[in-house]
Structure 1
Amino acid sequence: MHRALVHLDEPYTHNAVIKALQQSQLEWDIVQDITEENSEADLISESTPIALQWLEYELINWSLLAAKEETTMANAYCIRKGLIRKAQFSYNVSKYLSKNPSSILKHAIPETWQFELDHIDYIDEALNEVFEVERDLKENEESELEDDKKHVFIIKPSMANKAAGIHVFDSLNQLCAIFEEPESDTEDEEEDDDQEDLTQVREWVIQRYISNPLLVNNRKFHVRAYVLAVSNIQVYLYRDMLALFALRPYDLNNLEDSLAHISNTCIQTDQEDFDEDQSVRLFWELNKFGIQDQDLEHMFDQMRAILADVFDACTSEMTTFQAIPNSFELFGVDFIMDADNKVYFLEANAFPDFKQTGSKLQHVVQELFDATVQTAIEPFFGDQTWNPHSKLVKVFDKKLLSLQ
């Protein structure tokens, strides 16, 4: 009998993890009443040692993980900001490409600039650091280009998720407006009390917008792939990926309509016309909408190649990504395709929002957690019958130095 501490804030995910452990070939004593107060206290000293911590990142007992490297496992790497922080990731990729100029990442990541701004008063100085962006925005204004000929960019906070703070723009005025403090009354401030004040964000990335995305029924979509990293380090891409659609028809003439350009379902659910069946589909079922099976396979092959170099780039920088032997982690990785079926890597998210998969496709998440238990956990505890789950495709395998 192995003891597991399990607590994830989102019931959708928590329940799937519990079910996966209950269906495991190993027997688990599952403790679910985990808080910040007790995660590092009494439970550790009980007669049954802690074998597995499957917890929110803030609740993981890293001291226990370091002390019991061969007998205790956790569901996250302590240091992985080089992958999940957009600005740090951009730096790592730039450094990697300087050493590996023929890498697929040279063309598979949109042109990216790190953008730091302390206050709107200093935006001129900040723009000097991304002079290519400023140059192209001025060209838009001076040349009076048609909308489909303009230079278009997208800006994202380095650490935000769930589409917070993302804006598409093609003018300097639109960019400046993002950082101007909005006027608000007391009531609005109370309603938005839990939302991040984007005027306080210092670190952003600006990317050249993929303005010719592959469309289905005239709607933009991105692919949410689930990636499992195990130990030190094997990386797997889960075949059952999602296609997440924007709520509105794609319109390059209206960049301010986020529901036409941002395809995260979390910004759609409060809209009256939100339809989960239309916004969340399976990637492999896009063949029902005119995309050929061989094109889908070609896209999948591109994703495999991209992920291999993404993890090679990030794990090469030990100060920002440390893969330790007794951890595993699930990342939500976003890709987008252009009209020529070329795949671009957008970002990687730790502790992704599995709930956006929706109720209809919940079986996809459940099988992912079943596969994670089979591929990452059972082998660690000595299950000699282990075989990788059939839907997990290995994309990267490298033995790294560990600082533990």
Structure 2
Amino acid sequence: MAWAWKTSAIENTRFEIKYTPYFSSIGPVSTACPTYDPRATRIWVKIECDYTRRILVKAITKRQSRLCGVKNQKDASILWADYEDLDFDRVLASGGKIKANSYLVRKGLARKAQLAYHLRKYMAKRPRSILHGAIPETLVIETWEAFEEGMSFGALGATFDGNLTATLSLRDRLDWCLRDARERIARSPGSTWILKPSVTNKGAEITVLKDYQSMRDIVRTWPDVREWVLQAYIVTPLLYRRRKFHLRCYVLAVGNLSVYVWRQILLLTSTVEYDSEDLCNQLAHVTNTARQVEDGEMCPAVEDCVFSLDDLVDDLRTKQHLSLEQAGGIVSDIRGGIENVTGELFKALHGERTVFAPVPQCFELLGLDFLVSMDHTSSNESGLPVLTPQVHLLEVNPGPDFKQTGPRLKSVIEGLVEATLDVAVLEDGEISKDLALVYQSLHPENGEVGMRLLEG
């Protein structure tokens, strides 16, 4: 499903090109014949998602004097494809002559357990980091030893070999693997927690719970999931139309390393009104759009769950009885908080090259999810309480699913893709006003341009 332009016969010094988008089923999206400039950058596109592919093709077509689509990956200097279709051997061996739209190593961002570990290490050395207020308390849970009969593990200070492991019940093995989480839950009776697989897709298996038994039952139900995170649940989030929401912020990481926040932030809601005490309806708590649309009975379309952060202004004015200036100030503070936390996040991960290795010849779009709570403890000069937003980073998503945005706010993704082409591909210096630079390495040239894949 690669997209390409095919060249025609050459006459003297004039070049023309007819192109046919290579799609498996939907056919060509245009019949235009753009002028071919031999100096144009050659780009190869292979995107499975029709929604994203059409947006990218449209953006490239608007830059047809500077970008030329090609059919073969080997003929391109820019590769824009799904992660598994990228030839990283070729990219990393090119000495920076070939760019790709993804970093090879970014599991420190993608895997919740890895992210929690490295952020905890970073924060331990920096007690004043803003991440302390932005990262929920997180415990990493591994269950390999519970489900692998032949594995040896230690319990109660002793080490057990595979023969004894086989004599222990699954329940006993799970209790051993979950002992830290069990002790933490016991120290805060009545508290609410959220359990997530370290690697999840579309919000699957995410559960809000209050007790250890519920956690163990869930882990036992999903034996193929061997790594989880248990996070303190924020029970008093800011609501939109009385529904819980999270914010999806798109981030562009370029080279080694400049990081931009796309300031057109999405607000993604639950389908039902929020009740912190009612855990029976998990859709009120887990706001992933795909899960809401697939599982919810009250959300027939994506548009019913997807809004803009700017839509929050009117809701704050109505529900909190705020002036337009006050409500706008809160939204501005939320956006500023997201930018600050995002910059600190990449500062924390930039040096962890075994789990996040940005290189000069790559760039990537990521989706960061944030929750917002309100702090009522501060007051103004008159002694009246002041609403202060606190943003909480929930997770980082490489390869975000843009189609969940839907048609109504499609322009958000269109603008993001166009800005990415201008900044990361064409590098022409035209930076959209909606791109905010939040982190930049002082030594971007120190990336491992010669990095290569190893056999085995």
TM-score, length of structure 2 as denominator length: 0.76
Q: Is the 8 Å Cα contact of residues 44 and 73 (structure 2) preserved in structure 1?
A: no
Q: Is the 8 Å Cα contact of residues 331 and 351 (structure 1) preserved in structure 2?
A: yes
Structure 1: stretches of 5+ with no match in the other structure: 33-41, 141-149, 182-197
The answer for the alignment partner of 1:283 in structure 2 is 309
The answer for the alignment partner of 1:107 in structure 2 is 133
The answer for the alignment partner of 1:388 in structure 2 is 431
CA-to-aligned-CA distance 1:6-41 (integer Å, 9 cap, x gap): 111110011111111111265333246xxxxxxxxx
The answer for the alignment partner of 2:447 in structure 1 is 402
The answer for the alignment partner of 2:194 in structure 1 is 154
2:103 corresponds to 1:77: yes
Q: Is the 8 Å Cα contact of residues 26 and 378 (structure 1) preserved in structure 2?
A: no
Distance in structure 2 (CA, Å) of the matches to 1:330 and 1:228: 5
CA-to-aligned-CA distance 1:260-287 (integer Å, 9 cap, x gap): 0011110122334214343110011211
2:88 corresponds to 1:62: yes
Q: 1:43 to 1:212 in 2, by over 3 A?
A: closer
Structure 2: stretches of 5+ with no match in the other structure: 1-39, 147-169, 318-326, 376-388, 451-456
Higher relative contact order (CA 8 A, sep 6+): 1
Distance in structure 1 (CA, Å) of the matches to 2:353 and 2:303: 42
Q: 1:7 to 1:97 in 2, by over 3 A?
A: same
Distance in structure 2 (CA, Å) of the matches to 1:97 and 1:272: 41
CA-to-aligned-CA distance 1:178-232 (integer Å, 9 cap, x gap): 1234xxxxxxxxxxxxxxxx32111111100011110122110000000000011
Distance in structure 2 (CA, Å) of the matches to 1:163 and 1:223: 15
Distance in structure 2 (CA, Å) of the matches to 1:61 and 1:396: 28
The one-letter amino acid paired with 2:242 is N
- Report the CA distance between 1:339 and its aligned residue: 3.1
2:68 corresponds to 1:29: yes
| SS at 1:154 equivalent | strand
Counting only pairs closer than 5 Å after superposition, residues 111-130 of structure 1 correspond to structure 2 as: 111-118=137-144, 119=146, 120-121=170-171, 122-130=173-181
Identity of aligned residues (%): 34
Distance in structure 2 (CA, Å) of the matches to 1:16 and 1:132: 49
Q: Is the 8 Å Cα contact of residues 182 and 212 (structure 2) preserved in structure 1?
A: no
2:50 corresponds to 1:16: no
Q: Which of 197, 206, 217 pairs up with 2:241?
A: 217
Counting only pairs closer than 5 Å after superposition, residues 190-269 of structure 1 correspond to structure 2 as: 198-269=222-293
The one-letter amino acid paired with 2:434 is K
Q: Is the 8 Å Cα contact of residues 113 and 206 (structure 1) preserved in structure 2?
A: yes
Distance in structure 2 (CA, Å) of the matches to 1:177 and 1:31: 51
CA-to-aligned-CA distance 1:297-351 (integer Å, 9 cap, x gap): 1111111111111001111111111110011100000000013321101110000
| SS at 2:89 equivalent | helix
Q: Which of 273, 280, 295 pairs up with 2:298?
A: 273
- Report the CA distance between 1:116 and its aligned residue: 0.9
Q: Is the 8 Å Cα contact of residues 59 and 417 (structure 2) preserved in structure 1?
A: yes
2:413 corresponds to 1:365: yes
- Report the CA distance between 1:73 and its aligned residue: 0.7
Distance in structure 1 (CA, Å) of the matches to 2:298 and 2:235: 25
The answer for the alignment partner of 2:454 in structure 1 is none
- Report the CA distance between 1:67 and its aligned residue: 2.2
The answer for the alignment partner of 2:422 in structure 1 is 374
Quote the RMSD (CA, aligned, Å).
1.7
- Report the CA distance between 1:63 and its aligned residue: 1.5
Q: Is the 8 Å Cα contact of residues 228 and 235 (structure 1) preserved in structure 2?
A: yes
Distance in structure 1 (CA, Å) of the matches to 2:57 and 2:277: 47
Q: Is the 8 Å Cα contact of residues 141 and 230 (structure 2) preserved in structure 1?
A: yes
Distance in structure 2 (CA, Å) of the matches to 1:43 and 1:394: 31
Q: Is the 8 Å Cα contact of residues 51 and 72 (structure 1) preserved in structure 2?
A: yes
Distance in structure 2 (CA, Å) of the matches to 1:224 and 1:277: 15
The answer for the alignment partner of 2:124 in structure 1 is 98
| SS at 2:77 equivalent | strand
Q: Which structure would you say has the larger Rg?
A: 2
Distance in structure 2 (CA, Å) of the matches to 1:356 and 1:43: 28
- Report the CA distance between 1:72 and its aligned residue: 1.1
2:346 corresponds to 1:311: yes
| SS at 1:268 equivalent | helix
The answer for the alignment partner of 1:335 in structure 2 is 370
TM-score, length of structure 1 as denominator length: 0.85
Corresponding residue pairs, total = 359
Distance in structure 2 (CA, Å) of the matches to 1:297 and 1:228: 20
Distance in structure 2 (CA, Å) of the matches to 1:108 and 1:116: 24
